[in-house]
Each structure stands twice: as C-alpha cells, then as structure tokens.
Structure 1
C-alpha cells in the first residue's frame, strides 16, 4: 500500500490541486480570476521550453539512430498507429451520435461569418513544412517546420560520420538538459494548475449551459470512455497487464496538464517524461511524441464526427447510410491526422466539412463553437494518445518483452 501511494503521490497531489482549484472557481465565480497569473506562470514556462525541447529531442534521436532502416521502421509504424487509432475514435463517436443525435431540440440563429477566408492548400503546405527565415523556426506556431528542420539536422549529424559525433553528443546533451528542466518546472505544477483551473471554472463554467450543452454532454462521456477503455486496451496490446499498470501510473500528470493548457504542444514536455518512465526507448519517444503532438489528434477525430452530425441536425438533413458514415470517418481522420499539423488546419478541417457537404457559410461558426466547447477533453485525448501510441510503436519494433528490456537497461 505504501509503495502504491509513493508511486502515485505526485498525480494525487496534482489532481487534488485541480479539484481544489475547481471548487474555488465554483464558489467565487469570476472573482477567482485573480489567481490566473499564477496559472499563466506555469503555462508560460511550459510553452517557453517547447521549441528547444522538440528540436533537441528529435535531432538527437535521429542523429543517434543506428540506421536509416530503423528510422523508416519507426516512422512507418507510427503512421499506421496514428491512422488506426484515428479511425477507431471516429467510429466510437459515430456510434454515439447515431444513438443520441447531438442537435435534437437545439435552436441556433444562423449568422454569416464575417470573414470566411478562402485558403490556398498549396500555400498552406509550403508554410507547413518551411519558413522564410531561420528565426521563424523558433516559433511554436511553425511546429511542423521545426520538426522537419530537426529531422534534417539529425540526419546531417548522423551522416557526417566521425566528424558529426561531437555535434550529435551536443544534441543528446541538450535533450537531457531540457528533460531535466521539465522535471524542475513540474514542481510548480500543483500550484499552477490549481490556480489555472480556479480561474477557468470561475470564468467559463456557466458557458457550457445552453445550445451546445447537448453536444458537450455527448462528447464528454465518449471522450472519457475512450480515454479509460480505449487507452487501457491500447496499453494492454502494447505491454499486457504490466503495460496497463505502468501507463496509468504515469499518464495522469500529462492528462491534467493537457486539460489545463488546451495544447498538445504545451503538454509535450510532461508527455516525454511520462514516456521515459514507462520505458519507451529514447529514439521512439523523441520521434513519435513530438510529431504526434502536431499530427495525431484522436480527440479531434471524435469532435469532427460530432460537428458533422450536429450540423446535419441543424439543417434537418438525414445523417444515415454507409456512404455518409464512411465519408464522415474519412473527413474526421483527415482533420485529426493530416490537417491538424497545418497552420490554421483546424479551420481548414471545418471548411472541408462545410464545403464537402454543401452547408452554407453560416454553418462555419456553429462548427467552430463546438470545437471551443469540447476543446479541453479533446486536448487531453490528443495529448495522452501520443504516449500510448509510442507504446504501440515500441511493441511492434522491440517485441513483446520491451518493458522488461527497458527495466534491465534502467538497472545497468
């Protein structure tokens, strides 16, 4: 019992601080916003270290991979896992909205969006993978460009042979330093997250009541079910009973951080630390998790299906038939696994829904509003899904005894 309490001590402290902060928000309402600076301090610290952490993590992982075949295997397995989990999450929400139509009894006044900007896909793709100036690579708004740059730097270091070893060691050292910095920042997490949740609940708690309450009341239990049951199943497939126990032992801190930050990128430092403790190898976790934080969004797949079904209901359209369902799943996976990595990709995914089904432009703000309502649980699914995806990739590449190997390596 004492060992269990010791192992779960920090997650318990973290959850207790969130519960206390939420209670303060409910009791004091908007007055609780006075605590927001304490929460912002924690979030700013996390966001500040994201860019160097991503760069050093990916570049060092690539630079130290023994062969390009290993890198190809990691990336290939990663994409299979990302797409598979995206399809599964989409199907789960599809079942939910068929059983409980989200727009039933909802009456929303349709208004035209002020600026429904038409985005050029070609221009977006260029901005996604490149930046026009080196200094722009250091912005978390250009995460995919940063990831591409980090991969190329890692490749260059690895291909430079003996002359590149010193630089590869520098990258590895930088990765370790920022992992340690993450651990230092997490000492402040109970105060920061408690303060942030008190402000969040105090300011926005009542806004979930109204026209979008039904959509939220569908999304929340489905996302919790997917989080608890789906991720438990994935962890079991990755590591058996031991995988399940180890996953839940370390995932609560990233989950709580994701709920507060509303950002998979912001949660990345905590996620990488959790994956390390779980035993996911360095080259896998430092490749899969940073890329996953940008393009792997199971929570967004869940919300895309909900958005489609909701707007179908608003316009009294029949949401049934295999063609409709398969198209909805395809759009959800495209939005959650592909477009999520493009700057403005969330908006592009919403535009795709509107244009593909022929909805009027007035549907766009409705879809966007649903995204805002379900953002917190969606981000939790998006972020923690990367960790369990890393476990699945490891199971595929390292074999069923990968957790035992990790423990042996830890003891050496």
Structure 2
C-alpha cells in the first residue's frame, strides 16, 4: 500500500531534515574556524551551502511568481461571491462591521504584544541578507502609503509587487463586477477560471514546499547554528498570548455587551466546532459543524447562520491576521530592521485586507504572510523560521477564527431581535 503523507507532515519532516543538514554544515564552518583557515563566514557558507541555498531561493521565486495573480483572482472571486453590496442590507452591514472591527482589534493586540515582548530581539539572521535589506530599505511616510494605495497604473503596481495597490484594485473590481450584473458575467467567469488555474499551480508549487523549506532551514541553521531554533519559543509564546487575549477577553466582552450572552455558556454551545477547527486547522471543513452548533444549541436561525458563517469562513480570519502581524514584526526584529509606526499601520491594514478571499487558497496563511512581508519590504527568507512551528500555531489560530465567527453570528442574531437559548 502506498503511503501518502499530508503536506504539513511532509513540511515538518523537511524542517527536521533541514535542521540536521544545517547542523552538519555549521559543524564544517566551526571546524574551519578552529583550524584557523582564512575564510570569511560567508565564504565558508558559499563553499558548503551554495547548492542548498539555490534550492531555497528557487522556491521563494516560485512563490513570488504566483502571488500577484493568485491573490488578485482569489480576492475578486471572493468579493463577487458575497453578492451585490446594495442587496446585503442591514445583516450584511452589521456582519461586515463586526468582522472588520474584530480583525483590526486582533492585529492591534498582536502588534502591542510583539513590541512589548520583542521576541525577535537578539535573534541573529544571516548578515548578508540583513545588511542588503537595510541598505535598500527606505521607511515610507504616511503620505506615500496613502498615495501607493491608489495606483497610477495597476499593471505597474503588479509588476512592482505593490500589494496595497493590488488589493485596493481587486476589491474595487470585485465590487464593480457584483453591481454591474449580467453584463459582467463573462468577466466574472474569467476570474473564476483564473482563480481555479492559479489554485492548481499553487498546488503544484506546494508539492515542492518540503524541498524548499528543507533548503531554507538548512541554510539558516548552517549559517547561525542550532540556537536559532530556541529563539522560536518566545515567538510562539507571543502569538499564543495574543490569540488567548483575543479569544478570552476581546471576543467575550463583545459577546457580553452586544449579545447579552454569557461567554462561558456560549462557548459550551460551540465547543464542538472550536475543537474541530483546532484538530483540522480548517475553517471550511468546520463550517457545517459550526452552523449546527449555533442553530441547535444557541438557537440562532438558519437565516443568520447561512449568511454570517460562510461569509466569515471567507473573509474573517482574526487569529490569522494577529499571527501575521506578530510574525512580520518578529522577522523584522530578527533582521535588525526597525519598523516605524507607519509601517506597523501598513502591517495592520495589509493583514486585515489580505484575509478577504484568501481562505480558499491552500496554506492561505503562508500566502497572506507573503503579502504582509512584501508590503513593508521584509525578506521572505524569514518565513523558513516561522514555518518550523506553523502547524501548531495554525491549529490555534483556526480555532480562534471559528470562535470569532461564532461570536459574530450570535451578536448579529441578537441585534436582529432573535432570542438566543
């Protein structure tokens, strides 16, 4: 019988192999120094790890190659699937307001924690990468950020990977296609087909992810040593604390204030959905269970759940947005790059907007993370470190996503005059 491992299992194995290869490479480096060879650290890495680094670089380039068309197609189809904005009515407006507010609150919590705890401070990253990044980085002003949101030329913005511009145009295009009606059907079908094609290509590239991740991890550990893995504990604690605050404080307060519902009682009603989300790391797979819990246990009508929950699975990713903000700041701190207040606001906006329509993408957190890093000019190579612990954090943030969707459904139902049980 042919054994087929899931992609996250393959990536986990690849990370372990990469660490072992990196330790071997690092051992060669240390012996070279002990022997007194007159070789700079970069020269030694080049001698032993050039081929390994090349594999990792090619994988990063493949990801960069597809990110613009993938995100544009998925966001346009995601917005179109929501329907005509004018037809959403009061329920739609309340749902969107809740999802936008909670996502922004989640990102704000993450940014506060990562600035206070500074999990990336003292983490050493490859010097050549950090120096190259620092030499080309020019912190943007608030004016330049606002200006860049609206592109002069969308093709130019796509070519230059200006993701805020691409996101803005995609949202605008999606809304326009929704309002035009039948005349826009051919273009809608075109974007739907493009989205399917890009998802297929994404699937092919994700099959190469174990090789790319292994190479990137081997290069980082080979350059810096095994201690770099220990630095991830503080990062995980920061993400976990942020998710805990959002799930146990922010969302319960909103539930108590707007739905007049005791949080612990409500959590018992939707526990099955949250537990399933944690075990599967998939909001979409949990959707039927979430709707059933809300309707059967909490007394929410199907009219509300059938609109709010599927929409939440598409556009509401509180936990993911928080994780992306913390991860981006961790990478910046690890590379010794100081992020200005304006850049952190960009992280907040990008993490929030990138979640729209991204749920359909395999490993959505990875691709939205790339958008956030690109938006503030941070090196994508830093992704290799956070991948090492991504599976566990993915389970946690998915559980928070589903818990947030459930709280939002109860709040909207209460505001619509429904009596919850």
Q: TM-score, normalised by structure 2?
A: 0.56
**Residue-by-residue CA offset, 1:154-199 (whole Å, 9 max, x unaligned):** 1111111121223223222322222232222222222221122112
Matching residue within 143, 148, 166 for 2:163: 143
Aligned to 2:106: 85
Retained in 1: the 8 A contact 2:55–2:211?
yes
Aligned to 2:271: 240
Tell me how far 1:9 sits from its aligned partner.
3.8
**Residue-by-residue CA offset, 1:224-275 (whole Å, 9 max, x unaligned):** 124456547868989635434433533xxxxxxxxxxxxxxxxxxxxxxx55
Matching residue within 41, 44, 51 for 2:68: 51
Q: Does 1:20 align with 2:13?
A: no
Aligned to 1:352: none
Aligned to 1:65: 82
Q: Does 1:32 align with 2:82?
A: no
Q: Does 1:224 align with 2:244?
A: no
1:118/1:15 CA distance change after superposition, 3 Å:
closer
Tell me how far 1:379 sits from its aligned partner.
11
Distance 2:225 2:188 in 1: 48
Aligned to 1:297: 325
Q: Does 1:178 align with 2:198?
A: yes
1:339/1:96 CA distance change after superposition, 3 Å:
same
Distance 1:343 1:333 in 2: 11
1:198/1:344 CA distance change after superposition, 3 Å:
closer
> What is the number of equivalent residue pairs in this alignment?
311
Distance 1:346 1:376 in 2: 18
**Residue-by-residue CA offset, 1:68-123 (whole Å, 9 max, x unaligned):** 247645543333223322343356557757xx9x79xxxxxxxxx99996854223
**Residue-by-residue CA offset, 1:196-237 (whole Å, 9 max, x unaligned):** 2112221243896xxxxxxx97x7433212445654786898
> After alignment, is 143-152 or 164-173 more displaced?
164-173
CA RMSD, aligned part only?
A: 5.1
Retained in 2: the 8 A contact 1:125–1:342?
no
Retained in 2: the 8 A contact 1:61–1:282?
no
Unpaired runs of 5+ residues, structure 1, are 104-112, 209-215, 251-273, 312-329, 348-367, 401-412
Aligned to 1:391: 402
Retained in 2: the 8 A contact 1:35–1:196?
yes
Retained in 2: the 8 A contact 1:246–1:278?
yes
Unpaired runs of 5+ residues, structure 2, are 27-44, 123-133, 252-266, 291-308, 352-370, 412-421
